[in-house]
Amino acid sequence: MSRFRALAAAVLLALGGLSVLSAPSAAAATSFSDDFDGPAGAAADGSKWNYETGDNNGNNHERQWYTAGAANAALDGQGHLVITAKRENSGHNCWYGACQYTSARLNTAGKFSQAYGHVETRMKLPRGQGMWPAFWMLGGGNWPADGEIDVMENIGREPNTVHGTIHGPGYSGANGIGAAYNGPNFSDDFHTYAVDWSPNKIVWSVDGNAYQTRTPADLNGNRWVYDHPFYLILNLAVGGDWPGDPDGGTQFPQQLVVDYVHVSTSASAPSGRIVGIGGKCVDVPWANPANFTQLQITDCNGNAAQNWTIGNDGTIRALGKCMDVNGAGTADGTAVQMYDCNNTAAQQWVVTAAHDIVNPHADKCLDAAGVSSANGTKLLLWTCTGNVNQKWNVNQ
């Protein structure tokens, strides 16, 4: 959908003959759910959704003005969110002059984001030339470097076709990588649209029928950026470069009717050792998970103090606590420690394809102090240098 845009992260397989601890099984759990229950005319749940307003900065030459509240996106009292595109004067100016259409666009930025899992919606699409409904995800505000996953897009002149696409650095906009699914007229009834997203793989499906799989091998050497949390977006655009503008045959109002949006975690989370300089393991000293216990490297020994789970929420966990930057600090030399999991930026980590473990808040790397591989060497936050003391193999 419209191209704006997060961070980077890829959980890596073990390298070079390292033995790998088996990951403990974990049942998939619901992480986000909205069934749009509520009284007719009410706005979407503000604890889950933000309403975007404006003309999308003229991106894609869309012609709508997005409105706030229930004006163009409201519950119908029957368990649906109805996004309505209208031909009307919004009282605002768009890129082309006085705006001729209104619609709505909602997102979960700052309220919900997730890496990996099953993302699904059930919707009935609008119809007619110039309609552009979409359910999609963005990895942040730096598009296309942060990535975009289009779970479902449709353009009104193709009522029997929906599209699933990824956009990233070197393959964005018209060069996005995706596929089409041909089926019934998707504006006649409700259908489910989903992706199953795991490290290094995304699978698209319609009504449970998988029709496309993408992996890093599909990117022609470009970077795979689908390795960190993305947030959700629902919208109905009017006009634009791809669908073209409405014509005399397009009837208004048009509605995108959303039955639900459900997200669940992956069935299991990567878990095992984190091995660094000298083949030493990231370790909780004396297996003591007390708050402020500073992490170290030491000989790998297979105990629970060296078994780390890479969470779907961006955390790295062991012994029931989270890897944490002391005081959410950003200075070189800030201690990396254990602390109660608290959903703060101090506990967000990105495992990159270059084998760095980065705290995005500080934009700094997990570092073994003094470029030392001695047992008991403390772990710090430090400016990323590419040195061997900042390279880690995260074992699944």
Contact 156, 145 (CB under 8 A): no
Strand partners, 74: 82
Contact 62, 240 (CB under 8 A): yes
CA dist 65 and 63 (Å) reads: 7
Contact 32, 48 (CB under 8 A): yes
Contact 139, 225 (CB under 8 A): yes
CA dist 302 and 106 (Å) reads: 46
Please list, in sequence order, all residues whose beta carbon lies within 8 angstroms of the beta carbon of residue 231, skipping any fewer than 6 positions away.
107, 108, 109, 110, 111, 112, 113, 137, 138
CA distances to 60, 73, 388 from 393, in Å? 41, 46, 11
Our answer to whether residue 153 is catalytic in this structure is: yes
Biggest alpha carbon–alpha carbon distance for the chain: 75
Residue 176 identity:
G
CA dist 376 and 393 (Å) reads: 19
Contact 132, 52 (CB under 8 A): no
Q: Which of 52, 62, 88, 148 is catalytic?
A: 148
> DSSP letter string over 322-350?
EEEEGGG--STTEEEEEE-----GGG--E
Our answer to whether residue 158 is catalytic in this structure is: no
Q: Which of 62, 120, 153, 158 is catalytic?
A: 153
Element (H, E) at 107: strand 105-107
CA dist 270 and 95 (Å) reads: 46
Please list, in sequence order, all residues whose beta carbon lies within 8 angstroms of the beta carbon of residue 378, skipping any fewer than 6 positions away.
294, 295, 296, 335, 368, 369
The residues assigned a catalytic role are 148, 153
